[in-house]
Structure 1
Amino acid sequence: MEPPTSALSGPSPQRPSHGHTNGNANSGGNDPERFLLLLRHLLDSHDPRVHVDYAEAAHRLGVKEKWLRERIGDLPHRKMGKFVLFSKQDLQTISEMFAVRPATAARTAPTGSPAELRPARSMRRNA
């Protein structure tokens, strides 16, 4: 019996044949866009909860729960009574808040010959 399919995911992906091929290089399950769509669907449907608590939010962000608690005033979250909860969008926003992007200008090498370059005074030996 074929497993049920949803409109989002389509038919279930093909299992790898462990070295056996049918000669068709683009047989089912090899489409990267379809794979990413299926993966995204699985990740999104993994947890049916709309909101998560400190412990789960910290786990998903890869930080310690204490880190979230110490910065809660500066982070997006939901407050339901005395409970602090985080939505998926809150977690994505927190992640983007701390994204580090490289500077656009390339770093330049120091100018001058090696003879002109001298170590800082604190690094020089007293002669």
Structure 2
Amino acid sequence: MTKLVALTAASVLALATSACGNDADAPSEAQIDETALDGGLSANDATQYPVTTAGTYEGGGVTMTLSEDGSFLERNGDATREGTWEYDTIRGTCLTDQGSDQEQCYNMGEVQDDGTVSVTGPDGTTTTMTKVS
């Protein structure tokens, strides 16, 4: 949360100083990126990831249901996991397991015409999933 506030403040400062024609004190893109890094997504990457929509996604042996109420259910064989999810423009789609305050953020690409979507996990592994509903 602190990183998000810092990024927002840095962005506002950058816009304010450039509007005045004086960007000498504005943070550089590298400084903003360093502040924004969390879950593998930088401030410059944020616009390439569309807003994640609720639905059911399947791929890699996993079925993930992201409900509109902000809850999720993941089935991986006999194992299940549940909790809450939210989309953040910097961190991506973030899941928090029930009973935990630790979140895992994933970068989901745009859902293609055939329903497939590329999902990159916190460890950098990319999986192709299909939005089935």
| Fold equivalence (TM over 0.5) | no
TM-score (norm 2): 0.29
TM-score (norm 1): 0.30
Q: Choose between structure 1 and 2: higher helix proportion.
A: 1
Q: Choose between structure 1 and 2: higher strand proportion.
A: 2
Larger Rg, first or second structure (1 or 2) = 1
Larger RCO, structures 1/2 (Cα 8 Å, 6+ apart): 2
